[in-house]
Amino acid sequence: MRLARALVFASVAALASAQDPPSRAPDPVFLVANAERLIANKEDVEGAALLLWQALEVLATRPADPMRDATATTARHLLEAHDQLETERRRVHESVAKQQIELAQAYRSRKWFDAAATRVEVAMRFARDAAAKERTLLEAARPKAKAGSAAAAPTRPSSLLRRENTDLVSGNWTEVDDRLECTTKFGGNAEWVTKATHADHEVVVEFRPEDANKGHDACLAIGLHTLEGTENYSGYRAHYDYSPRTKRFGLVLWCIRGMEFTKLGEVSGTAETTPAGFHRLSIQVRGQKLRAQVDAQSPLVVDAAEEVRGAVGLVLGLSDRPTCAVQFRNLRIDSLPANAPTDDPLREQTAAEVQQSITGLVDQAKALIAKKQPEAASLALRDALGELRKLPAGVPRTNLATPIEHLLNQTDSLTSRRKKAGQSIGAELVGLADKYAATGMVRLAHAQVEDAADFDPDGQAARLASAREAVQAWNVAQAAARASELAPPADDGALLRVRFAQGRRLDNRSQGWKVEGPAASVLELGPGEMTSLMPTQGTPPLSKASVHVHLPAASTAAGFCFDVASPNDYSVALLFRARGGLELRAYRYTREWTELRRRVIPMDAWRLDGWFPITIETTSAGITVRAAGDELLLERSHLGTASGRFGLCASNGAKEALTVELRAFQIPP
């Protein structure tokens, strides 16, 4: 028997929402080009400076090459010519980097190489060249691993992670000490089904990616059983999927009946740093009610159609994205907590789980201190302080922080120096921010205060709140003053109605369209749903088309479907609204979603409520999609057969039903 093939997201909306906000860094060349345009048109010098800062921050992480160096040089020249505070900004940033490099040098002299590396990475953002020199010295100082060094005797994994206790194993599973490690090829999956069964229990597993900076997934399966007439296991899966570009995860709860997958719900959030890199994934079963949760994140609670009972297992691998190797440990079936939490107890439980994580990190640090590993202990204690900031400020948090800080001071003699450096850096950056704010550039001020709060979170909390309020007020004022720029395009919808009034949905099971007056609308498009409308039968094929889209909330998207062979073979090009701007995305669907290209387009919040044109064009090389000043080039080899029939497409990855509109369909010359 085989489990169903690796789970496929049922819609672009589901795929998108798991990666919201933007999951990739903007293209620095695009950022610099847009900044040049804003400056040349005298539209928004402050906005141009923001784009240039973002470009330089991305470029600071990239290796030197002619394109990278030329782009960075252009960005710096533009800032020097058009930002009167650029010289001061460079001075402050060089000071920030210098203080971090000095800390790195102090750690390097003590042979605390990991602690030194964290300071170098911070310094790289502020003064790349100076930090790069220290990075080279640090790498040269690191000791090389000794060949043939003796390893401790391995410990067997927990009982449910041993082959003698399984009903099915497929894929590459290997015992590694007390863990089970799995690897899988892109597009494949690995399955592990145990003989153990659950009733009303909490099923738990801990997992850790081989590399926390790479994409990975992990799936906990419950209620596994075979239905009559099927060969694969039916049941329920909580599937965790992490994007390294956003540092965010999506958790989707699926019901499987034979080969049919039904999404019951999903949550997403920013991935946490956890002790030893392991995450806790759990599903609580209470009759028909399921509660899935990863770490101390918001839980996902759904109702199944029947009482959930069956075997437990694991799955690794999604069909539409790669995963690095993942280790699993402590797969177990526990008793349920005494009571199912409601909202208030849930908040208390979340706080308790954060405190539990802090306790685990502190215990880990104490164990490392006992083993005379002070550097690793100090890193665990700093992680504990990071966890602590998830709790609301007040006496309880202060009382928890005091003993951790005391232990950290004992473990790391540079703690006081680091704290003073953080406060000094925070003050310098806020001083720079105040100068930008005095010139009315509240967005540039906010960016500097955000950096200041990274170094001195408690000391700059109030200043960060006021900087955010200033940006929010600026956005409100812009929206009121420039309301005409947010208005729908001037178009009566005549061509739109000719092409689509009698059109048909690509999938008859999807939400219907209303083509009336100037708009093609999808009224109350449900969460996680996508729908496409093909043109009226008999309308001639096109080589180029454009349409304006209105995206009512974050995680909504709209645009074109194209190269349509059937409901199971087509492509889409969409503008996706994220929290920090837009993304231009393209996917192909062949019973599985494959992402073709994506571009991140930063944008001020007030503009996101407007209308945006998106243009699609067939070329000899494939398809070109343009929107919001950027473009995607999609090679024909990655697409289906060209048909020239461009349909409309809309999706909703938000948590509530929303109306998505498209207007001003045109056939450009």
- Which residues are within 8 A (CB) of 31 and not within 5 positions of it... i.e. 6 or more apart? 51, 52, 54, 55, 58, 602
If you write DSSP's letter for every residue of 364-425 in order, what string do you get? Answer: HHHHHHHTT-HHHHHHHHHHHHHHHTTSPSSHHHHHHHHHHHHHHHHH-TTHHHHHHHHHHH
pLDDT of residue 411: 94
- Which residues are within 8 A (CB) of 224 and not within 5 positions of it... i.e. 6 or more apart? 193, 233, 234, 235, 310, 311, 312, 313
- Phi and psi at 263, nearest 5°, equal -80, 125
β-pair partners for 587: 572, 595
C-alpha distance across the termini of the chain, in Å: 57
Exposure string over 54-66, b if 16+ CB within 10 A, otherwise e: bbbbbbbeeeeee
Instruction: Give the Cα separation of 667 and 123 in Å (integer).
Output: 50
Task: Identify which of 205, 415, 425 has the alpha carbon closest to the alpha carbon of residue 315.
Answer: 205
pLDDT of residue 12: 41
Q: Are 305 and 282 in contact (CB under 8 A)?
A: no
pLDDT of residue 24: 52
Residue with tokens 């387009």: 601
- Burial classification of residue 662, based on how many CB atoms lie within 10 Å of its CB (0-12 exposed, 13-18 middle, 19 or more buried): buried
pLDDT of residue 653: 83
State the CB neighbour count (10 A cutoff) for residue 668: 12
pLDDT of residue 251: 92
pLDDT of residue 315: 93
Q: Are 433 and 452 in contact (CB under 8 A)?
A: yes
Q: Are 231 and 259 in contact (CB under 8 A)?
A: no
Q: Are 524 and 535 in contact (CB under 8 A)?
A: no
Task: Identify which of 411, 434, 415 has the alpha carbon closest to the alpha carbon of residue 423.
Answer: 415
Along the chain (669 residues), what's the average pLDDT of each consecutive run of 10 residues?
30 38 64 91 89 90 85 94 95 96 95 91 90 91 64 59 87 85 82 90 92 91 85 89 83 86 84 81 92 87 89 86 89 73 56 75 89 90 83 80 92 94 96 96 95 92 94 94 94 96 90 95 89 93 95 94 90 90 89 80 92 94 91 88 90 88 95
User: pTM surpassing 0.75?
Assistant: no
Helix H segments across 110-244?
113-126, 128-141
3-class DSSP assignment, residue 492 = coil
Two tokens, residue 595: 């992402």
Separation in Å, CA 305 to CA 308, 554, 644: 9, 30, 43
Two tokens, residue 488: 């729908």
Instruction: Give the Cα separation of 344 and 338 in Å (integer).
Output: 16
Contacts 24+ apart (CB under 8 A), 69-77: 71/28, 71/29, 71/32, 72/28, 74/32, 74/36, 75/28, 75/32, 75/35
Question: Position 542: which residue type?
Answer: L
pLDDT of residue 320: 65
pLDDT of residue 212: 86
Q: Are 586 and 596 in contact (CB under 8 A)?
A: yes
Separation in Å, CA 467 to CA 90, 317, 443, 470: 21, 42, 8, 5
